[in-house]
Copies of this chain bind each other. A is one copy, B any other.
Amino acid sequence: MDKVRIIEVKQNVLANNDAEAAKLREELKKKGVFLLNLMSSPGSGKTTTLKRTVQMLSSRYKIGVMEADIDSDVDARAISETGAKTVQLHTGGMCHLDASMTKQGLDELSTDGLDIAILENVGNLVCPAEFDTGAVKNAMILSVPEGHDKPLKYPLMFSVCDVVLINKIDTLPYFDFDMEKCREYIAMRNPSAVIIPVCARTGEGFEQWINWLSGQTDTWKNTKE
């Protein structure tokens, strides 16, 4: 329990967020830290996905996790059980994180020696998509119970994501979820998005996800600007 620090992050209303985000990304490049911004609806499985991701990658990379929530620290406690460095960011009612809030979190987490930093954004398919957090890549989770029509309804979220995990595929038999239609709708918004069906609870599909994430991390760490 005492491992989890809780930070109240404040939006910098005067800042130009795009400039702040670009500056943050440049700093991360110098330090060789890969920052992933993970977004989704409430309850789509971000924390379970993160726990398994950290467990599968922790022998190879040093990973830090920032858990953003309006309130509570249940997610940060769950993640800290994996042994990853974890901070809880409280947004004070804010529905998203911007680059300056992300930087406050990274400063608290400390990026020294870190390979991968993961930001678990606020559960919301609308607002987080509008703000560049400074992340190198954006990932999102769409879970089967939410339905395959979500790319039609939340276009910006799908268009800003580099990778979409379709989670809870173990529940496909119980929902009217059309995987082919879902792929088609995502491609309408973002033809280059990588789509990976997974089950965070059982680990199905995680090999591809872990390969994607480690490939992106190695590329980021090993290529010059």
Contact = CB atoms under 8 A, between A and B. Distances in A.
Place the interface of chain A in its size category. 35 or more
A55 interface: no
Contacts of A143: 43, 145
B154 A42 contact: yes
A-side binding surface: helix, strand, loop or mixed? loop
Could you say how many copies of this chain the assembly holds? Answer: 2
A152 interface: yes
B145 A70 contact: no
Contact of A150 (B43, B93, B95, B126): B43
A17 interface: no
Contact of A174 (B71, B75, B126, B171): B171
Contact of A41 (B74, B95, B123): B123
A123 B123 contact: no
A72 B42 contact: no
Contacts of A123: 41, 125-126, 153-154
Contacts of A205: none
A81 interface: no
A196 to B, nearest CB: 19
A146 B145 CA distance: 9
A2 to B, nearest CB: 20
Contact of A124 (B70, B126, B152, B156): B126
Given A43-B146, A95-B127, A123-B125, 10 more contacts: A42-B125, A42-B146, A43-B147, A43-B150, A71-B153, A74-B152, A93-B126, A126-B127, A171-B174, A171-B175
